[in-house]
Structure 1
Amino acid sequence: MLDVISAPPGTGKTLHCVEIIENEVRKNPNRMIFTNIIGLNMQGVLPITSSANKPFDWRDVPDGSLIVYDEAHEHPAFSKYDLLKNYQLPAVIDNMFDMEVARINDYEALKTFEKEQLLKKHGYVYTDLPETIKVKEKEELIRKVRKTQSFTLDRAKEDVLDIGRALTMHRHFGYDIIFVTQKPDLLNPYVKAATSQHLILRRLFKLPLAIIYSYAEVQDQFGNATRKNALSWRIWFFPKRLYKYYISAESHPVKPQIPMGLLAMVVGALCLIGYATYNTKNSDAELFGASQVSASGQQKTAPDSNQSATNNAKDVTQPSTDLIDLCRMAVNVDTPQCKKFFDDLTNSGGSIRGESEFVYDGNKPFDVDYTPTDLKPKDFPRFKNAIVYNGKCTAYSQQGTIMHKVSKQDCHRLANGDRPFDYFVEEKAQVQPTAPTSDENYKKSYLENIARLDAERHVKAQDATVQEEQIPLGTRPPQDITGANSL
């Protein structure tokens, strides 16, 4: 993989790389490790040689090596800017082109076979070998030589840039590469595209520590938004034991510079935490009755002026609950012990709360707030039943709950009908039915007859029919019929 570590100068980025190298040497002592860290003297680590005219090529080291390249933005293949403007060909190659130009200028002094080779090399067409060539022809030949020289220089620059372009293939050969730079924006796009992890170091107030932020991609800028988007972060303390392995300015002591405002805030926060802890302890002590106990422990005997008060004051050494009950009595309110008790209770901000009574309002049946304080169990689990299913026996209590602690032997024993005696069963009182009296029998018969008659009347009313009856001729109508019906 390829990691990029960026941080301002003096943040400890080179020291972090030395720690990585040390861990790798201990983990894989046979692995080839290369670095250009100045003055690094660690067993198993080989130095990198790189120059302006011959930059380091990571492809020249064995496959599977670890490469740590410090100040990667100064390498022409990794830098964003063109560092090959002053790049030159090796002196041997430049001398060859210069000698070729000199031969063209001294064409007349060359031997016959040298003239033939020179003209043939540059594609000069002729019928008879000329003894001399014109000035314009010489200039044309020299222009071709310089053009070839320029092309060779461009080809050499492209070979250097290919070192950075080939980084996308580094994982195929097992390389692990770490680039260290002051700002990731100084690196070219080929390096950023091949990066799998970006570590940003930030040192605060020149303390011997740094915060390491981890990202999956290269972050060109670092700010509040970038800090919040970090995949992870951790505090890394400088391992001073590693200063002896390389040359670094961090080997010199640096005095921390913590702002007074921040220091005051930290001290104030610690004071508030201590004060809150102290008050919490005092509040817990008062909550559990420490003030009442101290008040009851300091009370002595009451005066003899009031015999009843004296008899009750003898019990003030009892627990705080008894003291509260005694002082709530009107006869003991004026005793010195109760006065001191009430004074201490007032100073401590306490209060005497009576036991809450259960109040129920029938008009508000859902607004009942009652928590019972004296709860006693009414029953306890007893082995009553057993169910055997697929060879597994499960024991149940009298309420149908599973009893997990009953042994398998006892469970199967009960399932086979061997039921133990229950010493806690309560016999239910049997209510004997009473014989009905004569009055009750009469009332019952009367109601049954009334119901039967009503039922018959209802049935007849539903089946009633209208019968026509013919009136004999000559029958006089009733006297009470008047009007048209009387005719």
Structure 2
Amino acid sequence: MAAITLITGKPRIGKTAFAVELLMFDDFYKGRKIFSNINGLLIDHHKPPEGHSWEDMHEWLKWKENIGSVVIYDEVQYLFPTRSSGSKMPENVAFLNIHGHYGIDMILITQSAKLLDVNLREVVNKHIHIAANKMGGLTRLEWNEVALNPTQQARNALSSSHKIRQEVFEYYKSAEVHTAHSHVKSRWYYVIIAMLFVLPCILGLVGFMGYKMYQGYKEKAGISAQAEEAKEPTGFKNPLDPENQKEMMPQSGIQGQNLKPEDFVPTLAEKPESKPIYNGVRQVKTFEYPVGCVDGGKSGCTCYSSQGTPLKEITKAMCKDYVKNGLPFNPYKDEQQIAQQPQTAPQTAYELEKGQVLTMGGQSPQNLMYDGYTEAGQQFAQRGGVVGSP
């Protein structure tokens, strides 16, 4: 659909540059015959035919070879100036009413729509106004009809940011390229620029102060926690203390209840201590660990605990290894407690020397016991002989 596009704006705002940009980059105008009066335009275009002028374009635009052409006219107020009401309409103005019949598209450039013929204003299909904004840039306003007061009618326009492509100035002789644009910028422009530099500093300072406050809070919380720990140094309670034994003793499931027959039935055969009635008082005080081994006699090689009980879990081969090479290191022995133990009475004639392991068969026994050990072997003295003797 053939249309008339009006481009307005103050001098040196970039109106002509925008029109040239449309010719260069808008596919709608590419490949079409162009007629233009733009000074120094390097895009392929035509002037009015010989013997004709722009004033009689209503004649030569109707020619067959010119149908579907594009007309770009700069400073169009000189071609279609305002006229008094009641005056006769010029033929070139009247042609604007039927230009679409010949597929003619027009891009007309001027400073204000008020400078144009009133009939031209009525047939404009799109009005584009370029203006400087308060941020120091350019704004493009678009209407589907002429806006005689673009500033006041901006609220009804399609608004967008406008930027001139620098390569456009190479395709025509432009006054804009030699003139510095000095648009008045709003104070908010400078405020925003300043905030771009100040805001990161403020945010950094706030973040740093927040971090310091957080660290201070953590330190105070740590001091409070340490103070609480100082009141109760450890959660350890000495299990040898009778008072602590009462607290640590598990409560029987039958405490405060009537006794039942099943409370006296051991849960393990031949283990009377496994009766449920003892659940509240039964506690492990020590554990089995080999303190001596005897090789010989009817039983072969046997290792014994500190209570003189044979350790059936230790195999004969391991027992013989202990007799030959000595007992393994005891990581459970408290050297400090052993050093503080009082000296025991002299051994009987039949009592084993400290740390001895007997080997039957007349050979001298090998000392494999821990230093300071006194209980080992005492149980054997009660029998009047050495464990393993015939």
Q: TM-score, normalised by structure 1?
A: 0.40
Q: TM-score, normalised by structure 2?
A: 0.49
